[in-house]
């Protein structure tokens, strides 16, 4: 374990940085000392252990490094995460939303097994095996209001899935973070055309687009829409 000077993020509680403000490295506090989730590096500073947050492995880290103006990571908020995979980003969300709950939905059985294993010691993570296309089917697993929906699913109808889940779960004034992978929607059309189409679908459903964040530096053919219900 390495020692490094780490300081709080200037705008996001429970997120930490090191290095220059122009090229920061991200971290979250590690609640289970000595344990990693995806081989991330551990550091300590002033007797606190931190996990490095890799933007090439987590699109949410990439979003933060692009300095969004919307404040959506609040420690007592509850998040529905659609497309949780094995729990890389879920684990960091668990660190940040320390007084909230992360409902982590995953469709693939192999990934959900890994997710359960990775989150077994995290009391604020609820793994759910389910299909994001059918939000009513996992309603019995969600027992609080949802402040944030974070969606990262490789499906052709990504905006429609986001709308269905927002209609069913997201509270008024809640935030939707939609990670759009253009190649999963249309592998022939130009990415910008795909992004505009998905944005229009959200707007027609009554969601207010707050920001459009390009994260292609970290994830090829990906952009992010942040919207408010």
What's the per-residue H, E or C state across 20-54? Answer: CCCCCEEEEECCCCCCCCCCCCEEEECCEEEEEEC
Kindly state whether residues 74 and 175 are assigned to the same domain. yes
Kindly state whether residues 43 and 93 are assigned to the same domain. no
Q: Alpha-carbon distance 138 to 161, whole Å?
A: 14
Relative to beta strand 42-45, strand 48-53 is: antiparallel
Kindly state whether residues 92 and 186 are assigned to the same domain. yes
Kindly state whether residues 25 and 66 are assigned to the same domain. no
Please tell me the predicted confidence (pLDDT) of residue 198: 86
Kindly state whether residues 127 and 25 are assigned to the same domain. no
| pTM recorded for the entire structure | 0.93
Please tell me the predicted confidence (pLDDT) of residue 188: 52
Please tell me the predicted confidence (pLDDT) of residue 182: 65
Answer whether residue 194 shows pLDDT above 90. Answer: no
The range of the structural domain enclosing residue 137 comes to: 59-228
Kindly state whether residues 183 and 217 are assigned to the same domain. yes
Q: Give the CATH number of the domain where residue 17 resides.
A: 3.30.200.20
Answer whether residue 197 shows pLDDT above 90. Answer: no
Kindly state whether residues 140 and 181 are assigned to the same domain. yes
Last residue of some domain: 53, 73, 93? Answer: 53
Q: Alpha-carbon distance 31 to 29, whole Å?
A: 6
Q: Alpha-carbon distance 8 to 168, whole Å?
A: 35
Kindly state whether residues 80 and 104 are assigned to the same domain. yes
Q: Give the CATH number of the domain where residue 79 resides.
A: 3.40.50.150
Q: Alpha-carbon distance 70 to 115, whole Å?
A: 28
Question: What number of CA atoms fall less than 13 Å from residue 182's CA on the CB side?
Answer: 21
List pLDDT tens digits, range 112-163.
999 999 999 999 999 999 999 999 999 999 999 999 999 999 888 899 999 9
Kindly state whether residues 8 and 110 are assigned to the same domain. no
Kindly state whether residues 72 and 173 are assigned to the same domain. yes
Q: What is the total count of domains within the chain?
A: 2
List pLDDT tens digits, range 99-111.
999 999 999 999 9
The sign of the dihedral angle between the CA atoms of 212, 218, 181, 186 is positive
Kindly state whether residues 28 and 73 are assigned to the same domain. no
Q: Alpha-carbon distance 23 to 195, whole Å?
A: 27
Please tell me the predicted confidence (pLDDT) of residue 21: 79
Kindly state whether residues 100 and 181 are assigned to the same domain. yes
């Amino acid at each position: 374990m390495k020692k490094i000077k780490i300081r709080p993020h200037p705008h996001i509680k429970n997120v930490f940085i090191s290095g220059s403000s122009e090229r920061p490295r991200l971290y979250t506090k590690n609640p289970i000392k000595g344990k990693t989730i995806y081989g991330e590096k551990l550091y300590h500073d002033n007797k606190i252990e931190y996990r490095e947050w890799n933007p090439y492995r987590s699109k949410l880290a990439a979003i933060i490094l692009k300095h969004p103006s919307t404040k959506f990571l609040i420690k007592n908020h509850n998040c529905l995460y659609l497309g949780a995979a094995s729990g890389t980003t879920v684990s960091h969300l668990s660190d940040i939303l320390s007084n909230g709950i992360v409902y982590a939905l995953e469709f693939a059985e192999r990934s959900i097994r890994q997710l359960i294993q990775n989150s077994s010691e995290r009391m604020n993570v609820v793994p759910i095996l389910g299909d994001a296309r059918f939000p009513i089917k996992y309603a019995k697993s969600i027992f609080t209001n949802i402040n944030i929906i974070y969606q990262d699913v490789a499906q052709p109808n990504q905006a429609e899935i986001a709308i269905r889940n927002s209609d069913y779960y997201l509270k008024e004034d809640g935030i939707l973070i939609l990670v759009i992978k253009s190649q999963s929607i249309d592998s022939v059309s130009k990415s910008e055309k795909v992004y505009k189409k998905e944005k229009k679908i959200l707007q027609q459903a009554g969601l207010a687009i707050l920001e459009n964040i390009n994260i292609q530096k970290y994830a090829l053919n990906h952009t992010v829409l942040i919207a408010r219900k």
